[in-house]
Amino acid sequence: MAGRDTHRIDHPFEDLSDRQVDGRADRLVDEYGLQVWRTTFVRAARVLRNPRTWRAVEQIDANGVAGLTPVERADLQREEQEAVDHVDSKPPWTLEFWRKHPSHLKKRADEQAGKCGFWHQPKELRTTIIILCIGAVVQGWNQTGSNGANLTWPVDLLNPTRSSCEAQGDQAWLFAIVNAAPWFSAAIFALLLSDPANELLFGRRAAIIISAIFILAASVGGALVKTWQQFLACRIILGIGMGCKASVVAVFAAEVAPARIRGSLVMNWQLFDAFGIFLGFSANLMVAPLGTTSWRWMTASSAFPTIILLALAVIACPESPRFLMGKGKAYYPEAYETLSRLRGSRILAAKELLYTHYQQNVELSIARHVDSHYSDRPVDSDDERDDDVGRVDHIVARTQSPTLVQKFGQLFTIPRIRNATLTAVVAMIAQQLCGVNVLIFYSSTIFATTSGVLCEDVDSRDLVRPLMMSWGIGLVNFLFAFPAYWLIDQKGRRWLLTTTLPFLLVFMGAAALSYIGGPHDEALAVFSYIFIAIYSWGMGPVPFTVSAEVFPLDHRVAGMSFAVFTNLLGAGLLTLFVPAITASPPSHGGLLGIFTFLNLVAFVLVFCFVRETVGAADRDNPGNMTALALEELYKIFEVPAKGFWQYQVLEVIPLWMSRLRWYLGCRSAEPRRPEPLYRWWEVNDPREMQNIVQREEMSEREHAS
């Protein structure tokens, strides 16, 4: 694209002298009650100046600041090696893995690659992520409890005609309303209550506890109801808990995870949501022989993981350090202590807290319409640069956090946040447009109807067949989520979406065509399983991962709440209208055909509007990706939406067409990559380093005089 600029991504320590770096660390320590750890923060700031050359930090400098201790050097070296191992690691199903690691070295290679993975993280981080994973299990279990219960609860509460397992006429709408109620209530309360629950109930942890209480009450109450009105009320309460939890868990995981494995840890939401779906289907199978009362046990079964979640959240779950930092100066010592436990190192925690603090100041100044000039304005002197930093700190400290209404307004009025909102909302809407929830919510009903099972057979073993087919969906959904662990941080979030959506379109269309000449449950099951397998490592984990990452701290929960609102609203509308569509022509085949077309719509939206959040291109090798901290993403979203989609249309599509012609042998030379849209600006650039040296020399002369 002619005249297009490559957008620079930098950080507020990249071109400072030692004295300026020390000044920033001292200012943070003095103003935020961190004096006990002053020397640690000064050393961390020196490392941050250029993380790739941290070994150059002297043991004792001219100002008398002690250098890195042996323990700190070991921690920094471990962090550096983990980053290298993570980039070099290959998934075990690839040819590169087996070429690099012959069979007799496979065990050693697995151990080396695993050093940067989950089980080699500090205990506090592992405990936190496990608790959040249980929250995702609860979410998935609740979805499939209603899936199996749909076969029998209408017999108890609606008394439908017994010609099929689907309610007919007016009862079809009552059936749909009861099923859609938790999704509508989840959407509304996720939008309205998630941010207040975080602000007024003191954090992410409290919001998870409150949501677990709501879900536990709804699960037990739903199993004891006598009328459909009571069941509807319990479903609404269930939705409140599900909505609050869905908005918080992924955000919590993104805030505590190290940048290099943030995607794989945040995608635990989808993986363990899939595991919960599988466990829910398994529980449905276990209680199916109970006949017309089986739906009560299916509804109550999700209380088991909810009790575990509630107990662990109360006993063992820490608060998010980034949330504590957002609460104000008094909470910084607690945030540092928590972050030290999560990272297993004082120096790594100090480095991350320093970096997060100053990048958040940039975000806050942008969000509150304050001009900050960290990277857009040349710096002429030390004093001028120090004044800029102090000015931003001063303005941010004096500016009150926006209200909930203001936050929702700023999702659409501030360009950086508006672009993040567009990315999150499009990803969430695309998940609903692909049609996966038709299978997750109604698979038992669809398979029962396709198999010719009658509602009068609810006491027979024939119902085991559709429940077993649904169980297969849960198993496939869980197993095929694992590839995303390797792909989401190495290939990227956007790559997963654009790669899998075309295949989702093909196999959703194949499932729709299986109804030609009469329904064929075996063919429908096969195409459904393939569809779910592809969904599980693409469209499944990405939307919640992206939505949890893209917003600045002040707007993170509000933005995530709005993204979850759009997702759950789509789920509610789908759940509401599917029974009406399937009760008359075009029935199930036509329904799947509609979602085949909607997959095409989803692909176009994702291609034009969803941005990559895993990293920016390395300066010397545009094919490599550099992990970005949450606070660095603001530069990604400063690029205007028009410029982004024009780049995709005018640069990426021609590249794809050229590559296709090259693969087909229509051109001899492999097409060149276009200039990347983003680049990581490295401090060791010769011209930049020369400027830094000149400023340091000038600073030293002024200091001496």
Select from 273, 301, 306, 288 the least CA-distant residue to 148: 288
Of 262, 146, 246, 259, give the one whose Cα is nearest residue 197.
Answer: 246
pLDDT, position 111 = 47
Tens-digit pLDDT profile for residues 585-630:
667 788 899 999 999 999 999 999 999 887 644 333 333 344 566 6
HEC states along 21-86?
Answer: HHHHHHHHHHHCCCHHHHHHHHHHHHHHHCHHHHHHCCCECCCCCECCCHHHHHHHHHHHHHHHHH
Position 627 scores a pLDDT of 58
Which class for 662: exposed (0-12), middle (13-18), buried (19 or more C-beta within 10 A)? middle
Q: Say which residues have a Cβ less than 8 Å from residue 494's Cβ, sequence separation at least 6.
A: 606, 610, 611, 612
C-alpha span between 114 and 95 (Å, rounded): 19
pLDDT of res. 241: 92
3-state secondary structure of 60: strand
Instruction: Look at 118 and 302; give whichever has higher pLDDT.
Output: 302
State which of 61-70, 102-111, 192-201, 338-347 shows the largest mean pLDDT. Answer: 338-347
Tokens of 220: 């037990």
Tokens describing residue 610:
């969803």
Rg (C-alpha) for the chain, rounded Å, is 27
Band (232; pLDDT cuts 50, 70, 90): very high
Residue 344, Ramachandran bin (φ over 0: left; ψ between -120 and 50: alpha; else beta): left
Structural element, H or E, at residue 8? strand 7-9
CA distance 234 to 230: 6
Three-state DSSP at 3 gives coil
Q: Which whole number is the average pLDDT over 66-74?
A: 82
What is the reported pLDDT for 381?
Answer: 38
Ramachandran angles phi, psi of 59, nearest 5°:
-65, -45
- Residue 464 has a pLDDT of 78
Q: Over the stretch 508-528, which tens digit does the pLDDT of each residue have?
A: 999 999 888 776 778 888 999
Specify the higher pLDDT residue, 406 or 536. 536
Of the listed ranges 346-350, 362-366, 436-440, the least confidently predicted one is 362-366
Which residue, chain included where needed, has tokens 């899936």? 147
Coil/strand/helix, residue 161: coil
Question: How high is the pLDDT of residue 673?
Answer: 74
pLDDT score recorded for residue 631: 58
The mean pLDDT of 145-172, rounded to a whole number, is 70
Residue 139 makes CB contacts below 8 A (sequence gap 6+) with: 242, 245, 246, 273, 276
Over residues 268-308, the pLDDT tens digits come to: 888 899 899 999 989 988 888 887 788 899 999 999 999 99
Which residues contact residue 61 at a Cβ distance below 8 angstroms, ignoring those fewer than 6 apart? 18, 67
Q: What is the band of 1 on the pLDDT scale with cuts at 50, 70, 90?
A: very low
Choose between 543 and 385: higher pLDDT.
543
Amino acid at 612: E
Which stretches does DSSP call E strand in 136-208? none
pLDDT of residue 549: 84
What is the spatial distance between Cα 242 and Cα 453, in angstroms, rounded to a whole number?
32
Print the SS3 string covering 463-511: HHHHHHHHHHHHHHHHHCCCHHHHHHHHCCHHHHHHHHHHHHHHHHHHH
Section 307-324 average pLDDT: 93
CA distances from 187 to 196, 358, 571 (A): 15, 34, 9
Q: Phi, psi at residue 60, to the nearest 5°?
A: -135, 125
Q: 207: which residues sit within 8 A by CB, 6+ positions away?
A: 194, 197, 198, 201, 244, 245, 247, 248
- Count of beta carbons in the 10 Å neighbourhood of residue 657: 11
Mean pLDDT of the chain: 78
**CA angle at 497 for the pair 494 and 498, rounded to the nearest 5°:** 85
CA dihedral defined by 341, 344, 345, 346, rounded to 10 degrees?
10
Distances in Å between the Cα of 540 and the Cα atoms of 109, 416, 432, 478, 483 are: 29, 26, 10, 10, 12
CB 508 within 8 A of CB 592: yes
Structure confidence by residue, pLDDT tens digits, 353-399:
998 888 777 666 655 544 343 333 333 334 444 444 444 444 344 44
Lowest mean pLDDT among 545-559, 611-625, 638-652: 611-625
Q: Is the dihedral of CA 87, 93, 98, 101 positive or negative?
A: positive
- When pLDDT is cut at 50, 70 and 90, the band that residue 112 belongs to is very low
All residues at 6 or more sequence positions from 179 whose CB lies less than 8 Å from its CB, including other chains: 146, 150, 235, 441, 575, 576, 579
Q: What is the pLDDT of residue 165?
A: 54
Do the beta carbons of residue 131 and residue 342 sit within 8 Å? no
Structure-block tokens of residue 503: 């295949």
Within 10 A of 495 (CB to CB), how many other CB atoms are there? 17
**Where is 280: in which H helix or E strand?**
helix 268-287
Q: What's the confidence (pLDDT) of residue 60? A: 45
Beta strand residue intervals within 281-429, DSSP E? none
* 3-class DSSP assignment, residue 626: strand
What percent of the chain clears pLDDT 70, i.e. is strictly above it? 73
Tokens 């979805």: give the residue: 143
Q: Does the pLDDT of residue 569 top 80, yes or no?
A: yes
Please tell me which of 117-126, 151-160, 526-535 the model is most confident about, judged by mean pLDDT: 526-535
Cis peptide leading into residue 586 (ω within 30°): yes
Cα distance between the two ends of the chain? 51
Whole-model pTM: value is 0.78
3-state secondary structure 411-466: HHHCHHHHHHHHHHHHHHHHHHHCCHHHHHHHHHHHHHHHCCCCHHHCCCHHHHHH
Provide the pairing of β-strand 678-680 with 7-9.
parallel
Provide the 8-state DSSP code for 5. P
Q: How far is 143 from 235, CA to CA, in rounded Å?
A: 11
347, 76 in Cβ contact below 8 A?
yes
Work out the angle between the directed axes of helices 382-398 and 346-367 (0-180°, nearest 10): 70
